[in-house]
């Protein structure tokens, strides 16, 4: 639901404004609304001294954040337990110096680690070559008047033969070429030839873009000399890299907590200075307007009084003094529905005073998903994936919400799978004797289509009813049109059922008469566009047939996958193809139901009542890093849990 908001006005002596702002930042629930619209009140602008302070704070913040980016996070690092204290000029100077010093040291260590990793990778590449040609390379110093080339070729069947032929054409038979496969899938080549032929061979390799392994500087003139030195160095690199990483970890353990405290304090000071522009002032007083959830008004008053006393007054403005378009929107739902705020959040926020679609999304989205997937086996696999996501994510993060939504979808998929008698297609029926309890989707396509369209009818009618509720006060004529549209849809359905004698035939004539009477009312309410709108609504209902189409395609693909085991001569090959088909079908069963269930909500359902354009609730509070839970943030979590 959308929380009811109250607009508050805070008045007090002008010199108390900074203290009041710090108190509001501690409370953390007031959404500042800007300067009050009064002729006697002017906007407060920052003084030159405060403008200089803002520039200084931003420079310090840039240095601090640069230092934090290069420092690794410390396991079990200490969490802040209170809002950061206001920062002084001495603090800013100290933090700026500390950040530059830490950044310089950390960047040097990071560069050293990167260089060691690069050297290790370089030497590992040589080590694969050594493993194959080490016995030959160790005798390289005995090769008199000979030149050696160490080459790596792609695993290409006749590439070595082509190289051999090109060399024979250029230098004759006076060369030796040894080729051996490497663990990487490439081919290592050791080429020996007279020094006089080197220029011609290098030209051939350059034209063919053959990659030569060159001896690293500082390891010797030949690979034979370099081999033992490189192997010795390879063994020492890991110890050196571990030492450097330990130094970087020690630097982080010593200074990261202080830099995080500095970042929070500087951010808070910048937020406080920015909030000054929301105040209106006269010669002796200040005025602050803000939005607070109604349930938090008493707490705001109490905490302000405790902090600044009775000289500051907090008044609640009457409903007539503001419009719904001004109020920020806070979506707050029960724990069971809250993850689905993520899906609603893909659309613009609803306007204040309208309807929050989250509870309806929480009920119908997993139902549509389960109807389409409709397989107990696939649902069980999805449940395991959902459990993995939940276990690997933190509360309140989008990944946790995705895991919880997937769990609800898996539950419906399992329930519908049991009702349809499906366990990896017809595998449950063939192996376990599983029978449909409600409907056999494989055999009864028309009943399944009727079920999908019937659910669509309920969904669209619910949207029209919600549209009546949403527009009843603001646009009564539009609300009347939505209500008449809902009645006409039901009358059209009744006429069709009477025509095919599902309902008594005697119902047909009265229903048609009521249709003819109600239609002019619809035209009056919605204008000449009403017939088009009515046809579009009927089309919306019929578009729910996609549930049946996708669900039938899913079960048929699973059945085909199972029958491949017996259709191919080899059972092993058949099982492999069946598994592949099931994996593809499961992947489609994740994406197709998600996309189409969202479409049915965003287009067919939301279009009947959803009114976008709401302002996001952004309370003035202490800054915290993304994902960080702090005590003063948790105090208001019940208010903002649905808005993040």
pLDDT, one tens digit per residue, over 352-406 is: 888 999 999 999 999 999 999 999 999 999 999 999 999 998 888 889 999 999 9
Edge-to-edge, what's the strand order for the sheet holding 176-181? 176-181, 187-194, 146-153, 211-212
Per-residue confidence band for 566, with pLDDT thresholds at 50, 70 and 90? low
Higher local confidence (pLDDT), 625 or 69: 69
Concatenated DSSP letters for 91-158? HHHHHHHHHHHHHHHHHHHHHHHHHHHHHHHHHHHHHHHHHHHHHHHTTGGG-TTEEEEEEEE-S-TT
Per-residue confidence band for 221, with pLDDT thresholds at 50, 70 and 90? low
- 9: tokens are 């006005």
pLDDT, one tens digit per residue, over 324-334 is: 888 999 888 89
Q: Are the beta carbons of 349 and 615 closer than 8 angstroms? A: yes
- pLDDT score of 632 more than 50: no
pLDDT, one tens digit per residue, over 147-194 is: 767 677 766 567 777 777 887 887 777 777 777 777 666 777 777 777
211-212 vs 176-181, strand pairing mode: unpaired
Element housing 549 (H / E): helix 545-567
Mean pLDDT over the full length of the chain? 82
Which domains does the chain show, CATH number per domain?
126-237 (3.30.70.2750), 338-463+525-613 (no CATH)
What is the C-alpha to C-alpha distance for residues 146 and 150, in angstroms, rounded to an integer? 13
pLDDT, one tens digit per residue, over 279-325 is: 888 888 899 999 999 989 999 999 998 888 888 998 999 888 888 88
Long-range contacts of 195-204 (CB under 8 A, 24+ apart): 195/145, 195/146, 195/147, 197/147, 197/170, 197/171, 198/147, 200/170, 200/171, 201/147, 201/149, 201/167, 201/170, 201/171, 201/175, 204/166, 204/167, 204/170
What is the rounded average pLDDT of the residues 487-506? 75
pLDDT, one tens digit per residue, over 394-406 is: 888 889 999 999 9
Quickly tell me which residue has 């259709």 as its tokens: 567
Helical residues (DSSP H) of 138-222, grouped into ranges: 159-171, 198-208
42-43 vs 31-34, strand pairing mode: unpaired
CA 578 to chain centroid, in Å, comes to: 32
Lowest mean pLDDT of 274-283, 411-420, 502-511, name the range. 502-511
What is the rounded average pLDDT of the residues 562-583? 78
What is the rounded average pLDDT of the residues 433-447? 86
What is the C-alpha to C-alpha distance for residues 109 and 530, in angstroms, rounded to an integer? 71
**Range picked from 74-88, 120-134, 346-360, 524-538 for highest mean pLDDT:** 346-360
- Residue 633 has a pLDDT of 40
**Range picked from 64-73, 308-317, 428-437, 591-600 for highest mean pLDDT:** 591-600
- pLDDT score of 602 more than 90: yes
- Residue 487 has a pLDDT of 81
Per-residue confidence band for 638, with pLDDT thresholds at 50, 70 and 90? very low
Torsion angle of C-alpha atoms 373, 375, 376, 381, degrees rounded to 10: -60
**Three-state secondary structure of 337-379:** CHHHHHHHCCCCCECCCCCCCHHHHHHHHHHHHHHHHCCHHHH
Per-residue confidence band for 226, with pLDDT thresholds at 50, 70 and 90? low
Q: Are the beta carbons of 362 and 340 closer than 8 angstroms? A: yes
What is the rounded average pLDDT of the residues 410-429? 91
What is the C-alpha to C-alpha distance for residues 240 and 607, in angstroms, rounded to an integer? 63
- Residue 175 has a pLDDT of 77
Beta bridge partners of 612: 350
- Residue 41 has a pLDDT of 76
- pLDDT score of 139 more than 70: no
Per-residue confidence band for 7, with pLDDT thresholds at 50, 70 and 90? very high
pLDDT, one tens digit per residue, over 587-601 is: 998 999 999 999 999
State the DSSP code for 280.
E
- Residue 636 has a pLDDT of 39
Lowest mean pLDDT of 29-38, 67-76, 77-86, 401-410, name the range. 77-86
Q: Are the beta carbons of 608 and 466 closer than 8 angstroms? A: yes
């Amino acid at each position: 639901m959308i929380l009811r908001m109250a607009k508050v006005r805070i008045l007090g002596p002008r010199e108390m404004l900074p203290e009041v702002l710090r108190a509001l930042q501690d409370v953390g629930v007031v959404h500042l609304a800007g300067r009050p619209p009064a002729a006697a009140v002017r906007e407060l602008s920052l003084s030159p001294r405060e403008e200089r302070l803002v520039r200084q704070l931003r420079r310090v913040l840039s240095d601090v954040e640069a230092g934090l980016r290069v420092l690794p996070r410390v396991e079990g690092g200490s969490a802040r337990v209170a809002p950061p204290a206001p920062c002084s000029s001495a603090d800013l100077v100290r933090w700026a110096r500390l950040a530059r010093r830490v950044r310089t040291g950390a960047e040097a260590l990071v560069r050293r680690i990167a260089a060691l990793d690069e050297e290790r990778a370089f030497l590992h590449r040589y080590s694969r070559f050594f493993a194959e040609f080490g016995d030959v390379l160790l005798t390289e110093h005995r090769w008199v008047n000979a030149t050696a080339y160490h080459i790596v070729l792609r695993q290409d069947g006749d590439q070595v033969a082509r190289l051999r032929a090109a060399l024979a054409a250029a230098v004759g038979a006076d060369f030796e070429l040894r080729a051996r496969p490497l663990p990487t899938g490439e081919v290592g080549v050791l080429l020996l030839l007279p020094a006089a032929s080197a220029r011609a061979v290098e030209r051939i390799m350059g034209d063919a873009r053959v990659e030569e392994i060159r001896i690293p500087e500082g390891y010797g003139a030949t690979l034979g000399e370099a081999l033992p030195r490189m192997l010795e160095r390879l063994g020492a690199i890991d110890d050196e890299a571990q030492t450097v990483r330990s130094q970087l970890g020690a630097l982080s353990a010593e200074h990261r907590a202080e830099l995080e405290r500095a970042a929070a304090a500087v951010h808070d000071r910048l937020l406080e200075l920015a909030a000054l522009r929301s105040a209106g002032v006269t010669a002796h007083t200040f005025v602050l307007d803000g939005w607070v959830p109604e349930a938090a008004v008493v707490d705001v008053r109490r905490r302000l009084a405790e902090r600044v006393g009775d000289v500051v007054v907090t008044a609640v403005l009457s409903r007539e003094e503001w419009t719904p378009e001004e109020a920020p929107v806070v979506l707050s739902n029960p724990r069971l529905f809250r993850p689905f705020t993520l899906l609603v959040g893909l659309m613009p926020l609803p306007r204040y005073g309208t309807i929050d679609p989250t509870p309806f999304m929480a009920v119908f989205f997993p139902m549509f998903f389960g109807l389409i997937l409709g397989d107990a086996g696939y649902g069980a696999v999805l449940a395991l994936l959902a459990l993995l996501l939940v276990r690997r994510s933190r509360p309140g993060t989008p990944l946790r919400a995705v895991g919880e939504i997937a769990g609800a979808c898996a539950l419906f998929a399992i329930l519908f799978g049991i009702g349809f008698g499906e366990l990896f297609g017809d595998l449950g029926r063939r192996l376990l004797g599983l029978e449909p309890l409600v409907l056999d989707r494989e055999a009864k396509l028309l009943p399944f289509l009727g079920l999908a369209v019937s659910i669509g009818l309920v969904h669209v009618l619910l949207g029209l009813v919600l549209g009546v509720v949403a527009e009843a006060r603001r646009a009564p004529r539009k609300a009347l049109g939505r209500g008449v549209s809902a009645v006409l849809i039901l009358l059209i359905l009744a006429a069709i059922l009477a025509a095919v004698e599902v309902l008594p035939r005697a119902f047909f004539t009265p229903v048609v008469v009521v249709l003819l009477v109600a239609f002019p009312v619809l035209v009056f309410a919605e204008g000449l566009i009403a017939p088009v709108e009515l046809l579009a609504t009927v089309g919306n209902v019929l578009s729910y047939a996609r549930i049946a189409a996708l669900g039938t395609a899913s079960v048929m693909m699973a059945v085909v996958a199972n029958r491949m085991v017996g259709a191919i001569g080899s059972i092993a090959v058949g099982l492999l193809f069946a598994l592949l088909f099931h994996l593809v079908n499961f992947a489609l069963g994740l994406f197709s139901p998600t996309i189409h269930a969202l479409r049915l909500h965003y287009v067919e359902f939301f279009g009947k009542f959803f009114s976008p354009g709401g302002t996001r609730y952004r309370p003035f509070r202490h800054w915290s890093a993304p994902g960080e839970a702090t005590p003063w943030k948790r105090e208001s979590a019940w208010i903002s849990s649905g808005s993040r």
